Structure 1
């Protein structure tokens, strides 16, 4: 390789690095946090599903990886992966300045 071909590849390599640090890496960190949250949810926690349903966890079934939520419409069974966030964490987080 001569220096001309290396110099022409430099912008392409820089673009790949920028793509990794601004898109791929943050998404991987977000997925890791979400997986850890879903593993640590407990009975009695108020949560929000990915589809926006608010409810309280009344049962966790480890064998088929589902949870039962008590909502205003009654009890609904969801996959554990459908839980998006804990309600108390969303509303009790300190305000950003």
Structure 2
């Protein structure tokens, strides 16, 4: 089972007593901040819960699975999410 965004907004609104529109705006601002900081190469950390950072991928040679032809894959970036100690502890209890 998974929780989608609208279910998350409803749950946070219920637990915090805030309106759903306020919670939705806060989530939008949170994700915008993550996007801005991580795209600039900054690490965003919420101690105990999670850390989000940009990683670098080196250029490499790959193969087209359909033709077997060699292709050059350019260098790029990826995103790394790391669970914090509180999140890991919560999962371990289940």
What is the TM-score with the length of structure 2 in the denominator?
0.35
More helix by share: 1
TM-score, normalised by the number of residues in structure 1: 0.34
